[in-house]
Amino acid sequence: MDFNDTPQEAEYRAKVRAWIAEAAKEYEGLPEPKSQDEYVARQKSWQRKKYDADYAGLTWPKAFGGQGLGPMNAIIFSQEEARSAAPTGLYSIGLGMCIPTVFTHGSKAVIERFVPKALEGGEIWCQLFSEPIAGSDLAGIRTKAVRDGDDWIITGQKVWTTFAHLSDYGIIVTRTDPSAPKHKGLTMFIVDMHAPGVEARPLKQMSGGADFNEVFFDGVHVPDAWRIGAVGDGWKAGLTTLMNERLAVGGKPRNSPGWRTLMDLARGIDTEQGPAIERMDVRARIADTYINDEGVKLTQMRALSALSQGKTPGAEQSISKVVVAKTMQDMAAFALELSESAGFAAGEKDSELARLQGAYMWSAGLRIAGGTDEILRNIIAERVLGLPGDLRPDKDTPFNEIVPL
């Protein structure tokens, strides 16, 4: 066992670090983007740099424009990227989830048309799965697609679609056969977000920002050539996306506060029970936060090291998000309470307190996005531990005859 980089990994890390140091210099000390366009332009420029220097799609097959490297290279790159000022985030859904689905299930023509362009950052993608009626129960969606010659016509509504308002394309799960049981009547397509009949309306989040949208489809034409997988195989394609999602959103969000934040904060606070940093309740919370966050990181490394030795990682990875999101909520609440009135007054921009307040608000969404705490626990219980599954009364009923219990 060795927790250090192997000589090859160390060499790769040194190379990547040197490149990022140079390439990300221009973003250092930049203020937050002032407009949406500026945000997108900045994100685009970084993706383009990576693409030009052969650092995009590190683990993707060469045939799809990737580098065909192992997962250790990707993790080393993203670790180094996270230490820099490089602007990332906008491509996590497209490149992390949508495009892997496209090249796993899409036709050759579709792959050639969309994958390279996405990789260089030229086109932005979103994931059009959830609907008002169904989120956890993805197979319960209603947006319909009806065949019309060489096209399909899509009508319905998606919701909570992150970055839809900035996207050029999306992968959409639709119902093509309402008389089949719910999992069997689904089909996935690529949809042009600028096509007539598509309307993305940003939705404001509880935390104040508006990263997600409701998206309306009113008779939107999609060529059959843009179908991802066979008609009726949308569930299978969707599962590919969700598996990639668990990897893409599983970890702790970049720049989010952690045990160090709490430790630093506690150092600066004197309480009647003594300096906060010496209080047992504070020390216990720092320890809890460390155990959870670092435990998840080490678990991810375990999975990666299995991969780097050509073995299949176990199911341990599935604990990530359920741990990270709630830990963030608990740590942030504790830190704000420790700060008493100062933790409740809106923190000054870019201050540690403002970040903690942001984390407290955002953690509530993180516990829901990409599979809720409850659904993730069901997955651990059923798929990992082999406990019997929930009864699914509607599983074999034709979708249009389902009556909820």
Does residue 357 interact with ligand FAD by CB under 6 A?
Answer: no
Helices 280-308, 71-82: axis angle to 10 degrees equals 140
Structure tokens at 56: 């995009």
Which of ligand FAD, another protein, none sits in contact with 345, Cβ below 5 to 8 A by type?
A: another protein
Q: Are 127 and 166 in contact (CB under 8 A)?
A: no
Q: Which residue is nearest to ligand FAD (CB)?
A: 135
CA 272/CA 280 separation, integer angstroms:
13
In three-state secondary structure terms, 400 is helix
Q: Which of 59, 84, 308, 372 touches ligand FAD (CB under 6 A)?
A: 372
Q: Which is nearer to ligand FAD, 72 or 319 (CB)?
A: 319
Restricting to residues 122-161, name those near ligand FAD by CB under 6 A: 126-127, 129-130, 134-137, 160-161
Which residues in 224-310 belong to E strands, given as ranges?
A: 227-228, 270-271, 274-275
Which of ligand FAD, another protein, none sits in contact with 127, Cβ below 5 to 8 A by type?
A: ligand FAD
From 301-309, 323-331, 361-369, 392-400, give the range in contact with ligand FAD by CB under 6 A: 361-369
Q: Tell the burial category of 9 from Cβ atoms under 10 Å away from its Cβ (0-12, 13-18, 19+).
A: middle
Structure tokens at 359: 């984390």
Which of ligand FAD, another protein, none sits in contact with 263, Cβ below 5 to 8 A by type?
A: none
Q: Are 395 and 181 in contact (CB under 8 A)?
A: yes
Which of ligand FAD, another protein, none sits in contact with 40, Cβ below 5 to 8 A by type?
A: none
CA 94/CA 383 separation, integer angstroms:
27
CA 132/CA 142 separation, integer angstroms:
10
Which of ligand FAD, another protein, none sits in contact with 162, Cβ below 5 to 8 A by type?
A: ligand FAD
Nearest approach, Cβ of residue 160 and another protein (Å): 4
CA 124/CA 340 separation, integer angstroms:
42
- Residue of 161, 176, 171, 286 whose CA lies nearest to 212: 161
Nearest approach, Cβ of residue 313 and another protein (Å): 26
Q: Which is nearer to another protein, 307 or 379 (CB)?
A: 379
Nearest approach, Cβ of residue 52 and ligand FAD (Å): 28
Which of ligand FAD, another protein, none sits in contact with 161, Cβ below 5 to 8 A by type?
A: ligand FAD
Which residue intervals of 58-134 are DSSP H helices? Answer: 71-82, 92-93, 99-105, 108-119
- Which member of 199, 245, 337, 352 is catalytic? 245
Q: State how far the alpha carbon of 128 is from the alpha carbons of 24, 167, 234, in Å.
A: 32, 11, 12
CA 50/CA 56 separation, integer angstroms:
5
Q: Which residues bind another protein (CB under 8 A)?
A: 130, 132, 134-137, 140, 159-160, 203-208, 269-273, 279, 281, 329, 333, 336-346, 357, 360-361, 364-365, 367-369, 372-374, 377-378, 390, 392-395, 397, 402, 404-405
In the residue annotation, 352 being an active-site residue is answered as no
Q: Which is nearer to another protein, 248 or 368 (CB)?
A: 368
Catalytic residues: 245
Q: What residues make contact with ligand FAD under the rule CB under 6 A?
A: 93, 126-127, 129-130, 134-137, 160-162, 212, 365, 368-372, 374-375, 378, 390
